[in-house]
Amino acid sequence: DQAEFVPAVVVGTGYGAAVAALRLAEAGVPTLMLEMGQLWNQPAEDGNVFCTMLNPDRRSTWFKTRTEAPLGTFLWLDVINRDIESYPGVLDRVHFAEMSVYVGRGVGGGSLVNGGMAVTPTRSYFAEVLPQVDAAEMYRTYFPLANRMLGVNSIAPDFFESTEYYQYARVSRKAAAAAGFGTASVPNVYDFEYMRAEAAGTARKSALGGEVIYGNNAGKRSLDKTYLAAAIGTGRVTVQTLHRVAAINRQSDGTYLLSVHQIDTTGAVVARKQLSCRYLFLGAGSLGSTELLLRARDTGALPDLSDSIGTEWGPNGNVMTGRANHIWDPTGANQSAIPALAIDNWADPDHPVFAEIAPVPAGIETWASLYLAITRNPERGTFYYDAAGDRLGLRWRRDQNTPAVTATKALFDRINKANSTIYRYDLFGSTAAFADDFCYHPLGGCPLGRPTDGYGRVTGYRNLYVTDGALIPGSIGVNPFVTITALAERNLARIVAEDVRA
Ligand code: FDA
C-alpha cells in the first residue's frame, strides 16, 4: 500500500516539538504531530481532567499498576504510592539499570506534569555548554521570545511574603540565610494571579490544592494553552494521539517513511500505519528522539547516522534531599505545589548548586523541607540500542552522580550546621538522605553540533532534524524547558529560512 504523505511530521508534542510545529505552520507547511500519549482535555467522572497527587488513580501514570512517586515513603511508610489500573496516564518513570527518568506523556509532553519553573540560565554557563551558539543573539532575541510565548510570570512579593501557602519556602529561605546563602525568586508559567484568587477562595484550587506532577486542572499555562494552541490555530497543524512512532526509514526519493503504532487505552496496538513526509522533526525528548535515531542507525534503516548519537547524556545534576526543621519552624499544612524560590549558590567555584525549594503538599504539617538540587556534574552517560529488547538502554552508573551528591551535601551540611538541623532519612524509600537514582531533567543524546549541525539538522540526512532536549549536552544549570524552547526557536528560524518550502 502507498503510505499516506504529509509534508511535515513532528514526533512528540513537548517544547521542541511545539515550537517546530508552530513555525512550520506559519511558513505555510501542513504539519502532522504524532504523540504517543493522550489529549488531556476531557473531564473524567469526578469532573476533573487530572487526578490529584494525594489521591492518584489510573490517570496519574503511564501503563503501570502502581504509582511511582518521587517521594516514595513518609516516616519510612509506604503510604504515598497506590495500586492503579494500567492506563495511558500522564506521568511516566522510565527505568534504566542505574537511573530512572520521569517524563510527561500526552499532548504537551513534560509541560503537563512539570513544576512550571521557567528559568533562563546564566549566560556564562549557557555559553560554556553550547559554545557554538551565538549567546548574544539568544539573550537578545530567543530567550525573550521563549519567555513571552510560554507565558512566564513572577510571583508578586506581597503575595509570596504573606500567604500561608509559601510558608515552606520562607522557612527554607530563613535556614539558608542563617548559613549565609541567598535565594532567588523563580519565574513560572503558572498564572500567579490565578493562584492569588485560589488563596482568596474565589477560584478553584489547583496549585494550592496540591496538583502538579499528575497534571494541573487549572492555572498552569502548559503547552496545549500556549504554543500548541497557536500552532493548531494556524489551521495547518493536526495532532494524532495514542500514536507511537516505532521506526523511521528513508525512501529512494529522499522522503521519510514512518512506522506508526496506534494504541488503545489498554496499550494494545489497534492499527499499524505507514506515513511518509518530506520534513521530519524529532521532538520526542532526550529519550524518545535518541531512541528513534539509534534504532534507525543500528537496524540499518539510516546507516549513515553518526557514531555520536546517544552520547553526552546527563540528568542535569539532579539530586533531591530533605531537611527536618525544628518543631518551632513548621512548614505549613497548606503548601503551593508550584515552587517559587530557590537557593542560588551557582557562583560557588567548588560546588555550584541551584536548589529549588520544593513543596511537600501532604495536607498535614510534616516539618520537612524538600529540595531539588541542580548541580554541575560533568559525568555523562551514553544511550545504546538494545537490539534484543528493541528498546533504549542507558550506560550510566549510580556512582556517576557522586559529584552531584557531594555538591548538594556541601550546601546542605552548612545549612544544617547553621540551624542545628538534620537531614530527613525517611522520604526516598530507603534510609538515604539524597535521592540520586532518578531525574526530572534528561538532557542530551543528540548533542548539538555532533550528530547534527549547529542547528539540529541531522548529519547525513537532508530534511531530518532534532528539535528537543536531546540537543543539550547533559547539563544547563537550571530547569531546562526555557532553554529547550529558546534553542528550538533559534534553530527553526534558520531551518525555515534556508530549508523549507511551503
Ligand atoms: P518532552 O519530554 O516535553 O516531550 C516529548 C514528547 O514526545 C512526550 O509527549 C512523549 O510522550 C512524546 N514521545 C516520545 N516518544 C515518542 C514516540 N516514539 N512517538 C510519539 N510520541 C513520542 N523543567 C523546567 O524547566 N521546569 C520545571 O519546573 C520542571 N519540572 C519538572 C517536573 C517533572 C515531574 C518532570 C517530569 C519534568 C520537569 N521538568 C521541568 C523538565 C521538563 O518538563 C523537560 O525538560 C521538557 O519537557 C523536555 O522537553 P522536550 O521538548 O525535550 O520533550
Residue-wise pLDDT for 185-205, tens only, equals 999 999 999 999 999 999 999
Catalytic residue at 243?
A: no
Q: Which helix (H) or strand (E) holds 7?
A: strand 4-11
Residue 104 pLDDT: 98
Residue-wise pLDDT for 325-352, tens only, equals 999 999 999 999 999 999 999 999 999 9
Determine the average pLDDT of the residues in 367-371: 96
Look at the alpha carbons of 368, 374, 380, 383 in this order and tell me if their dihedral is positive or negative.
positive
Residue-wise pLDDT for 59-87, tens only, equals 999 999 999 998 877 878 777 899 999 99
% residues pLDDT > 90 (the chain): 94
Q: Is the CB of 469 under 6 A from ligand 1?
A: yes
Triad 455, 282, 87: Cα angle to 5°: 150
1: pLDDT confidence band, cut at 50, 70 and 90?
A: low
Determine the average pLDDT of the residues in 298-325: 98
Out of 35, 211, 291, 356, the active site residue is: 356
- Contact of 231 with 149, CB cutoff 8 Å: no
Q: Is the CB of 199 under 6 A from ligand 1?
A: no
Measured from the Cβ of residue 178, the count of other Cβ atoms closer than 10 Å reads 15
Determine the average pLDDT of the residues in 142-164: 98
DSSP secondary structure, 190-203, as one string: B-HHHHHHHHHTSS
Q: Is the CB of 404 under 6 A from ligand 1?
A: no
- Contact of 208 with 200, CB cutoff 8 Å: no
Pocket test for ligand 1, best of 9, 10, 15, 19 (most atoms within 8 A of CB): 15
Question: Cβ contacts of residue 275 below 8 Å, gap of 6+?
Answer: 3, 4, 5, 6, 9, 32, 34, 257, 258, 260
46: pLDDT confidence band, cut at 50, 70 and 90?
A: very high
| DSSP reduced 3-state for 245 | strand
Q: Is the CB of 490 under 6 A from ligand 1?
A: no
Residue-wise pLDDT for 11-35, tens only, equals 999 999 999 999 999 999 999 999 9
Measured from the Cβ of residue 270, the count of other Cβ atoms closer than 10 Å reads 10
Q: How far is the CA of 417 from the centre of ligand 1 (A)?
A: 37
Q: How far is the CA of 14 from the centre of ligand 1 (A)?
A: 6
Residue 75 pLDDT: 78
Mark out the alpha helices in 214-277 (DSSP H runs). 227-233
Question: Cβ contacts of residue 201 below 8 Å, gap of 6+?
Answer: none
Give the N- to C-terminal CA distance of the chain in Å, as an integer.
Answer: 26
Q: Residue 19: is it exposed, middle or buried by C-beta count within 10 angstroms (0-12/13-18/19+)?
A: buried
Q: Residue 420: is it exposed, middle or buried by C-beta count within 10 angstroms (0-12/13-18/19+)?
A: exposed
- Contact of 258 with 248, CB cutoff 8 Å: yes
Catalytic residue at 356?
A: yes
**How much is the ipTM here?**
0.99
In angstroms, the CA 473 to CA 448 distance is 8
What are 359's three cell numbers?
513543596
Residue-wise pLDDT for 204-246, tens only, equals 999 999 999 999 999 999 999 999 999 999 999 999 999 999 9
Mark out the alpha helices in 66-138 (DSSP H runs). 123-129, 135-137
Average confidence score pLDDT of the chain? 97
Pocket test for ligand 1, best of 479, 487, 492 (most atoms within 8 A of CB): 479
Residue 3 pLDDT: 87
